[in-house]
Structure 1
Amino acid sequence: MNRPASGRLHDRAWPKRVPHDIPRLETTLWENLEISARRYPDKPALIFFGRRIPYAELKAMVDRLAGWLERDAGVKHGDRVVLMLQNSPQFVIGFYAIMRVGAAVVPANPMSRADELSHYIADSGAKVAICAGDLAPHIVRGSEQLDEGQRLRHLLVARYADLMPAEPEPADRPPEAWNDWLVADPELPAWGSRWADAMALAREPGPYAGRPDDLVALGYTSGTTGRPKGCMHTHRTIGHNTVAGALWSHASAADVGFGVVPMFHITGMQYSMHVPIWLGSTNVVLPRWDRELAGRIISHYRVTTWTNIPTMIIDLLGSPNIASFDLSSLEQIGGGGAAMPQAVAEKLEKQFGLRYMEGYGLTETAAPTHSNPSQAPKLQCLGIPFVGVDSRVVDPTTLKELPQGETGEIVVNGPQVFVGYWERPAETEAAFFELDGKRFFRTGDLGRVDEDGYYFITDRLKRMINASGYKVWPAEVETMLFRHPAVQEACVIAARDAYRGETVKAVIVLRHEARGRTTADDIRSWAREQMAAYKVPQYVEFVDALPKSGSGKVMWRLLQEKEQA
C-alpha cells in the first residue's frame, strides 16, 4: 500500500503475525455460516440463557426462515427487510435468513419508536419487518402512520422465550424485570405472523444467488446531525472487517465470546455475530446489559474474548459482587464508542491483569478503522490504522494533509468503507474526497497522530467550545474529570457566557457514595488544580444518568440542545 512516510510510523507497533493487507474477498457472509455448519455441525454456535444451538441447527433454522421470507412474505433479491430485536438467536437467524434470500438487512435500534421507525421503513422502502413481541406495537404504529404505498406488507413477530430453556440454571437466570418482554406475545394485525408458525411450515428456500458486491446491510446513522441516513454496506465491506477483526485479535474456533454489545449496532454486528460465525467459535448471547448476570456468565462459561463499551466495564467493576466473579478466563478485552477512563483501565489491569484495547470506527466503516495492538496498547487512544487502512489527518477546510502532531480531521481509505448513503448522492459526494489518487472518507472527528503513529481523538469537528478565543475540546476535559474520585461519568458541553461568548459546563453523574457529599464548588476547585483555567467547568450540573444511545454512547448533543434552549 502506498502511504506517505508519516503514514508508516505505526509499522513499528504493528502486531506480530497480522498482515497489513488481506486479499479481496470473493465470498459472502452467508457462505461463512454454510461453511462453519459443515465444519463444526455439532459445536455450539450460540448459547442463550443456557440453550445451546449447534451450527447445523442454526443453519437449518436460517434455511426455514429464508424459505418463509421467499415463499410467504415475497422477499426478493435486492429487497430491504427491517430487523428489530435485542441480541438473541432470533436476531442472528433473522439476519442470515435475509441474506440467504439476497435481501439487505435494515437493523433498527430496539429503543426506536413509531416516528423513527416510520422513517426507516419509508426511507429504505422495506415491505417486510421482523421484530420481537414487545416491539411489535411500535412497528405497527410506525407503519400505519405512513401513506398506503409506503407501509409494511408483512410483519413477523418472535418471542425470545421460544429459544430459551423453560427453567434457566442460576448462572443464566435473567433478572425478574426482564420476564415480561422475554415472553411478550401480543395480538397481531392481519398482516402479522408469528415466528413459531412460520418456522413450523419448514419452507425450503430457492438456490442461493448472493454476490460479494450485493447490498447486505443498510445501517442508519444516529441522526444527531439530522434525519438518519442509511449507510450502504456490501458483503465485501463488512466481510473485510470480519476477517481482519479475527486476525487482529488472534481469534480462533476455540474461543468463547460474550455477545452483549447490541447486534443492531455495527460493532456488535461484527464482534457478536459475523466474526464468531466466520471463525466457527461459540458466542454466549445476552439481550441486554446487566452487570450481575454478565459477571456470572463470564465466570460460568469461561468466556475468553469480550468486545464491549467502557461503560460496561465501569459498571461491572462497580458491582458489590465483583469479588465473586471469576474473570480469569478472559484473554482479549476491548472496544470503543467512548474513551476508556485511565483510572478504570489501570484498575482493570492491576486487579485482573487485563489490558483494555481501545479501537475506533463508525457505521460507515463497518466498525474498526483503527485499533490498539495487543502487545502495545495506549490508553485514551484510538490505536493505529487497521488492516488494509490508509488513514491521514487533514486540514478540515483545505483537506491538505497535516504534519505529524497537528490536530485535524481524521480521514480513512480502506476496503471496509461503505459504498455511500442510501439515495443521497449529494451527501455521499460531500463525505468523500480524493487525496494521492485515493478516495478518502471524512469521519468528522478531529484528532492527531503521535510520534509512534498512534491516533488520538480530540473531538467531533463541530463540538469545540470557543471561550474568548481559547479552544476547549470537551473530550479532553471529560477525560480529566474522570480522574476525580467522586465522578462516575461526565459530559462536557458549551454554555452561553456574556463575557466569553461560550464557557464550559460539566454534566456529571456522581458515584453512589459521593452523592450528597460532593458539591459543584468541590468539582471546580479540584479542576483548577488539574487543568488550564479556561478549561475549568464554570457550571456543574449533577444528574442521575446521562442520556445514551442504544449502542451505549453518551448523546452529548441532547444535553447541548437542552442547554441552548
Structure 2
Amino acid sequence: MAVTDATDLCRTDNNNNEPLLKTSVLDLFDQHARRSPNSTAAEFQGQTITYDGLYNASIRVALELRKRGFRPRDRVPLITSMGLEMVASVLGILRLGASYCPIDFQAWSLERVVATLEAVGSRLVFSTVDTTITGYELVRVPEMLRKNNPVTDEATQQLELIRQDMRKSDLIYIIFTSGTTRKPKGVMVPHSSAAHLVQQSFPGAMRGNPGEKVLLFFSVAFDGCAGVIFSTICHGGTLAMAQPSDVINTASSCSTLILTPSMLASLEPTPEFDRVHSIYMGGEAPTETLVRLWTSPTRKVYNCYGPTECTTAVSTVEMVPGGPIVLGHLVSEVELMLLDENLEHEVQQGEICIRGPCLAVGYLNMEALTQEKFFFRDGIRHYRTGDLARRDEEGLHFVARVDRIVKNRGFLINLEAEVEPALRSFSGVQKAAAFLLQKQLVAFVTPSEAPVETLRGHLAKRFDAFIIPDLIFAVDDFPLTTNGKVDTRALQAMATHQVDEQLRSSGDSEADKSPALDVVLEAFADIFNRPASQIPPTASFRLLGGNSLTAVKLQSHLRRANLSLMLSKMFELDTAAAIARAAVSMDYNIDVVSSTNVHPSTTPLTPHQIELLRETEIDSSSNYNF
C-alpha cells in the first residue's frame, strides 16, 4: 500500500498555508513538449522517444500510480536502471504530485535495496526492471506502458488540477546516500529547489538547449542524474543515455559531457570527441591534467560544486589550463560563506556553509541529523557541508573534507591538503588517494608504472615522516562508486588483499595463438603495466586489477584493432585467451549491446568481487556532487 501517514515529513496534505509552486520542472518540460513535440527527448541503445511520446508516457504512469492508490505528496520507490522507461517513470511520478525515490537495480546490493524500501515506507514499488523482492509488490512499468491505454482529456485535466495545487515545499525526489555510515540517508529535495536550479541562465550554466545532446552516464540513484535529466529536458535538449558498454560511442556523439573527473579520466580526448563543446566535471575535485587534456579552442571545461543537500550544484566555473581551480560562479540567490568551528564568525579558511533556495528539506526520518546539519544563523537557515575551503584574491579554493583530518603517529594531518598533494608533487604520479587502514597510512597512486621506491625517496627528502604513507600501491586507475567517485572502501579491500599484485597463472597455456590474443596480451601489458612476457594467455583480468574503467580502456585497445566485445563479457570470460576468442571483428554487423533487463547477477563473480561490490555504495563523503 502507499504511504498514508499524514503526519509524516513527506506528507503535507494540510499545507494550505504554504506558498504555491509557481514553476515546476514539469511546466518547463511541458512547454517544450507542446513547442517541439517531434523533437527527440531521449535516446538509449538505438531506441528514441520524442517529447510528445515522453509526455504521453508520463501521463500513463501517473494514472497507473493513482489507480494503485498513490496520492499527491506520497513517496514512490522506483527500482530502475538506465533506460527510456526510467525517465517516463520519473515524470509520471511527479505528474501525480508525488516524489520519487530512485533505487539503482544494477549497482545496489539486495540489503541496501531493502533498507531503502523500509525507510521509504511503501510496500508497493514501481519498477522498470524484472525482479522480485520478498514482502513487496512490484508494478512493472514497461508492461504498463505497453498497454498503450489512450490518454483522455478528463485524465489530463485531473492531473493538471493536482499540478495547480503543488506547493513550494512539496518534494520532488529523495536521494539516498550512505556517507560514513552503512545506513541509507534520504535527502529530501523540494520542487522549488530543483526548478530554481534548472532556470539558471548565467554563462556556463548547465543546460541542454534544443539541438544539443547531453550525456547521461550517472547512476540513476545519484542526484547528478536528476540534475542532468532536468537541465536537459526542461530546455529542449536530448538525453543521450549510456552504460559502460557503450559510453565511448555515446559520449563521442554528444555536444555536452557531464561526468566526474574519474569518469572523464577513463576516456581519451581523441578526434572522435571533436563534436563535444562543453564538459562539466563534479563529484570530486578536478585535476589540472584533465583540464589541460580536454580544453581546446572549440571546447570549454567547467568545474561544478554542490552537495546533494543543496540540490546538485551551487557553483560553476570555467577552468583554463594552468589557472586556479576555484569554486566559481554561484547560483542566483545562493550565498556561500566560510565559518569557524563554532559556526559563528566568517573566516578566511573554514567550513563551507550554504544558504538560499537550494536547500533540501532535511533527512527522511532523521530529525536529529537534520537539526545538526541544517542550522539557523541570523534567523536564516544554512547547511553545513563538512567541506573546508579558503578564500583569497582568486576566489574560493576547496581544501578538504573536515572528516579527512586524521591522526598519524601522534600528528594531526590533512589527507586531502597534505598527504595527497605530497604524493602528486612527484612527477611520476598523476592521481593519489590516501586513507588510514588498521592504524597505517595507506596510499594508492596512478599510473601503475609509478616507481614506488623512487617516490618514497622523493617524499623523504621533502616532507615530514608522518606525512609519508606506510604502504603505497601503484595501480592503473582507481575503482569508482556508482556515482563515479573514487571508491575508498574498494581501495581498502585492494590494499588488504593485494589484488593488484595477483596473477591467475604464470604457467604455460594450451590456448591457440591468434592475432586477437596478441592484441589482448599487449593491451593487458599496457593497461596493467606488466612486461608482456610475464602475461600468459591464462592471465586474469580481474586479478590484475580490472575494473569498469580498465574495461573501457581494454575496449579502446580492441577498437583500435577493429575488434569489439561487451564490457560485461570481459569480467565473465576473465582470461586473456577467453576474451580474445570472444572478440569479434567490427566489420560484422553484430549487436554487441547487452539487454538492460539482464541483472548483473547473471555474470559470474568471484567471492572477492562480490565483497567489493557490496562495499561499493553511494558515497556522500565529498560534496563535489553535481
TM-score (normalised: structure 2): 0.68
The whole-number CA distance in structure 2 between the counterparts of 1:377 and 1:81 is 46
Q: Does 1:392 align with 2:340?
A: no
SS in 2 for 1:65: helix
Higher mean alpha-carbon deviation, 550-559 vs 374-383, is at 374-383
Residues 284-318 of structure 1, C-alpha deviations (whole Å, 9 max, x = no match): 121x235xx4343344x4x222211111221102x
The whole-number CA distance in structure 2 between the counterparts of 1:372 and 1:334 is 9
Q: Does 1:357 align with 2:298?
A: no
Q: Does 1:412 align with 2:369?
A: no
The whole-number CA distance in structure 1 between the counterparts of 2:422 and 2:258 is 25
8 Å CA contact retained: 2:82, 2:241? yes
8 Å CA contact retained: 2:58, 2:92? yes
The whole-number CA distance in structure 2 between the counterparts of 1:377 and 1:366 is 30
State the match for 1:215 in structure 2: 171
8 Å CA contact retained: 2:306, 2:315? yes
Aligned length: 469
The whole-number CA distance in structure 1 between the counterparts of 2:265 and 2:323 is 18
State the match for 2:249 in structure 1: 296
SS in 2 for 1:524: helix
SS in 2 for 1:91: helix
8 Å CA contact retained: 1:458, 1:473? no
Q: 2:102 aligns with which of 103, 107, 110?
A: 107
Q: Does 1:95 align with 2:93?
A: no
Q: Does 1:153 align with 2:114?
A: no
State the match for 2:505 in structure 1: none
State the match for 1:372 in structure 2: 317
Rate the CA distance shift 1:438–1:119 in 2: closer, same or farther, 3 A: same
SS in 1 for 2:369: helix
Q: 1:240 aligns with which of 180, 196, 205?
A: 196
Q: Does 1:80 align with 2:75?
A: yes
Q: 2:406 aligns with which of 452, 459, 465?
A: 465
Q: Does 1:122 align with 2:73?
A: no
Q: Does 1:383 align with 2:328?
A: yes
Rate the CA distance shift 1:546–1:74 in 2: closer, same or farther, 3 A: same
Equivalent residue letter for 1:280 = G
Q: 1:478 aligns with which of 390, 411, 420?
A: 420
SS in 2 for 1:367: coil
8 Å CA contact retained: 2:445, 2:474? yes
State the match for 2:280 in structure 1: 334
Runs (5+) with no aligned partner, structure 2: 1-19, 498-626
Rate the CA distance shift 1:196–1:385 in 2: closer, same or farther, 3 A: closer
State the match for 1:401 in structure 2: 345
State the match for 1:554 in structure 2: 486
State the match for 2:530 in structure 1: none
Rate the CA distance shift 1:472–1:416 in 2: closer, same or farther, 3 A: same
SS in 1 for 2:159: coil
The whole-number CA distance in structure 1 between the counterparts of 2:313 and 2:414 is 23
Q: Does 1:535 align with 2:467?
A: yes
Q: 1:279 aligns with which of 235, 239, 245?
A: 235
The whole-number CA distance in structure 2 between the counterparts of 1:254 and 1:358 is 23
8 Å CA contact retained: 2:56, 2:151? no
**Structure whose CA Rg is larger:** 2
State the match for 1:441 in structure 2: 383
8 Å CA contact retained: 1:463, 1:473? yes
The whole-number CA distance in structure 1 between the counterparts of 2:206 and 2:184 is 35
Residues 20-42 of structure 1, C-alpha deviations (whole Å, 9 max, x = no match): xxxx9612222222211001111
The whole-number CA distance in structure 2 between the counterparts of 1:496 and 1:118 is 30
8 Å CA contact retained: 1:493, 1:559? no
% same residue: 23
Rate the CA distance shift 1:250–1:424 in 2: closer, same or farther, 3 A: closer
8 Å CA contact retained: 2:196, 2:358? yes
TM-score (normalised: structure 1): 0.75
* CA deviation after TM superposition for structure 1 residue 274, in Å: 0.3
SS in 1 for 2:122: coil
Runs (5+) with no aligned partner, structure 1: 1-23, 145-150, 159-193, 498-502
Q: Does 1:523 align with 2:455?
A: yes
Alignment of 1:135-154 (within 5 A): 136-137=130-131, 140-141=132-133, 144=134, 151-154=135-138
Rate the CA distance shift 1:91–1:377 in 2: closer, same or farther, 3 A: farther
SS in 2 for 1:257: strand
The whole-number CA distance in structure 2 between the counterparts of 1:247 and 1:235 is 24
The whole-number CA distance in structure 1 between the counterparts of 2:216 and 2:250 is 11
8 Å CA contact retained: 1:447, 1:459? yes
Q: Does 1:507 align with 2:444?
A: yes
The whole-number CA distance in structure 2 between the counterparts of 1:470 and 1:245 is 46
8 Å CA contact retained: 1:413, 1:439? yes
SS in 1 for 2:234: helix
State the match for 1:450 in structure 2: 392
State the match for 1:312 in structure 2: 263
Equivalent residue letter for 2:159 = P
